[in-house]
A and B are shown apart, each in its own frame.
Chain A
Amino acid sequence: RKEVEQDPGPFNVPEGATVAFNCTYSNSASQSFFWYRQDCRKEPKLLMSVYSSGNEDGRFTAQLNRASQYISLLIRDSKLSDSATYLCVVNTGFQKLVFGTGTRLLVSP
């Protein structure tokens, strides 16, 4: 079983749609969680950290369910510029991040 699992997609949605991604992790001792965005042939960029209480940043909402070991990302009012791969990232301790393979989002006009 992979340490971090994501549906690779692609998720094809129209502009303005709401879309949600889930991610599961296997290590119950994982300590912190992030969503990164990666555009084609570019480096990953931090989108947001994920806190136990859930957190929101504009159109983006992240939630963490430790009991079920999953993390979610909700994007409201999708824009064309949201098209990218979204990487679920888990810090398992010891200065190490474990990346999921990413979920690809395509937003169309």
Chain B
Amino acid sequence: DAMVIQNPRYQVTQFGKPVTLSCSQTLNHNVMYWYQQKSSQAPKLLFHYYDKDFNNEADTPDNFQSRRPNTSFCFLDIRSPGLGDAAMYLCATSRDGRTTDQPQHFGDGTRLSIL
């Protein structure tokens, strides 16, 4: 059974039209992450939540925002998608980010296309 669930699997939006991607987890993990992965590139961390504490990466554009209304859900909002934002967006969780040997568990990803 999937433990990190991302919806939708595929999302098509228009240039400049706001879009929200969702992630839910049944693992009760403290930490939730959002990554962007473009073709043939490594996943790039955008931001993460440790419980309710939001941690933005320094090079994440302001166009990307996130919300975590409760432990189970986390959202990625792209306010004005550009063509360069077309990518796979991966949500991941880890049980306790303070202990560094915890692996991350990934959802299936949402593939975003921009028209």
Q: Do A and B come from one complex?
A: yes
In the assembled complex, A54 has its CB within 8 A of some CB on chain B: no
Q: Which residues of B contact A91 (CB under 8 A)?
A: 100-101
- Decide: A95 near B48, CB < 8 A? Known: A34-B103, A43-B107: yes
Flag if A43 contacts B31 (CB, 8 Å).
no
In the assembled complex, B66 has its CB within 8 A of some CB on chain A: no
Flag if A95 contacts B50 (CB, 8 Å).
yes
Secondary structure type dominating chain B contacts: loop
What string of 1s and 0s marks CB contacts (under 8 Å) between A21-57 and chain B?
0000000000110100000011111100100000000
Q: Which residues of B contact A49 (CB under 8 A)?
A: 101, 103
Flag if B43 contacts A99 (CB, 8 Å).
yes
Q: Which residues of A contact B101 (CB under 8 A)?
A: 31-32, 49, 91
Range for the number of chain A residues in contact with chain B = 20 to 34
Q: Which residues of B contact A16 (CB under 8 A)?
A: none
Flag if B104 contacts A43 (CB, 8 Å).
no
In the assembled complex, B40 has its CB within 8 A of some CB on chain A: yes
Flag if B41 contacts A31 (CB, 8 Å).
no
A93 to chain B, nearest CB (A): 6
Q: A32-B100, A42-B108 are in contact. List 5 more A-B contacts (CB 8 A).
A: A34-B103, A41-B88, A45-B106, A49-B101, A87-B42
In the assembled complex, A101 has its CB within 8 A of some CB on chain B: yes
Question: What total of chain B residues lie within 8 Å of the partner, measured CB to CB?
Answer: 24
Interface residues of A (CB under 8 A from B): 4, 8, 31-32, 34, 41-46, 49, 87, 91, 93-97, 99-102
A88 to B98, CA, bound (A): 21
In the assembled complex, B82 has its CB within 8 A of some CB on chain A: no
- Decide: A43 near B109, CB < 8 A? Known: A95-B94, A101-B40: yes
Flag if B106 contacts A31 (CB, 8 Å).
no
A42 to B103, CA, bound (A): 18
A17 to B103, CA, bound (A): 29
What would 12 A/B residue contacts be, using CB atoms closer than 8 Å? A41-B111, A42-B109, A43-B90, A44-B90, A46-B105, A49-B103, A91-B101, A95-B94, A95-B97, A95-B98, A96-B48, A100-B42
